[in-house]
Structure 1
Amino acid sequence: MIGLGKTSVAKILGDYFDSEVFYEDVNDNEILPLFYTASDKELESKRYPFLLQLDFLQRRFKDIKRATTDRYSILDRSIYEDWYFAKVNMDLGKISDIEFTIYEKLLKNMMEELDELPKKAPDLMIYLQGSFETVMARIEERGRDFEQDESLTDYYYALWQGYDDWVMNCYDASEVLVVDMDTTDVVNRLEDRELFLTQVDKKMTEINDTDIGKF
Structure 2
Amino acid sequence: MKHNLYIAIEGPIGVGKTTLARILGEAFKAEILLEAFEENPFLSDFYADRERYAFQTQIFFLLSRYRQQSRIVSDVLTRSSLVSDYLFAKDRLFARLNLRGDELVVYEELYATLSERIPTPDLVIYLRASTDVLMRRIAQRDRPYERGISRDYIEDVRQAYERFFSAYDEAPFLAIDTDHMDFAQNAEDRARVIGRIRAALEEGTYQPPLPEMPSSMPTAGPPVLAEGRRRLGDFQRFHEALDREKGFISDLYLNFICLTEEVGELGRELKHIWIEEEARSEQGIRRQQAQEAAIQARLPQLREELADILAFLLKIANAAGIDLEAAYVEKMEKNWRRTWPRPDR
Give the TM-score normalised by the residue count of structure 2.
Answer: 0.53
- For residue 96 of structure 2, the aligned residue among 62, 87, 107 is 87
Contact 2:40 2:61 in 1 (8 A): no
How much has 1:26 moved relative to structure 2? 2.8
Structure 2 partner of 1:20: 31
1:80-101 CA distance string (max 9 Å, x none): 1111111111xxxxx2311111
The runs of 5 or more residues in structure 1 that have no matched partner are: 90-94, 115-119, 211-215
Counterpart of 2:166 in 1: which secondary structure? helix
- Considering only aligned residues, what root-mean-square deviation do their CA atoms show, in Å? 1.9
Identify the residue that residue 165 of structure 1 maps to in structure 2.
163
* Partner of residue 75, structure 1: 84
Secondary structure at the residue paired with 1:79?
coil
1:5-47 deviations in Å (ceiling 9; x for gaps): 1110010111111221111123322111121134x7xx53xxx
Q: Which residue of 1 aligns with 2:141?
A: 142
**Residue 188 of structure 2 corresponds to which residue in structure 1?**
191
Q: Does residue 3 of structure 1 match 2:1?
A: no
Q: Tell me the equivalent position of 1:174.
A: 171
Corresponding residue pairs, total: 192
Match of residue 64 from structure 1: 69
* Aligned partner of residue 125 in structure 2, secondary structure: strand
Shift of the alpha carbon at 1:153? 2.0
Q: Which residue of 2 aligns with 1:133?
A: 132
- Quickly say closer, same or farther: Cα 1:112–1:27, change in 2 above 3 A: closer
C-alpha separation between the residues in 2 aligned to 1:17 and 1:185? 19
Matched residue, 1:117:
none
Q: State the 4+ residue runs in structure 1 displaced beyond 3 angstroms.
A: 207-210
TM-score by length of 1: 0.82
Task: Verify the 8 A CA contact 1:123 1:207 in the aligned structure 2.
Answer: no
Q: Is the 8 A contact 1:128 1:179 kept in 2?
A: yes
Q: Distance in 1 between matches of 2:46 and 2:131?
A: 21
Where 2:39 maps in the other structure, the secondary structure is coil
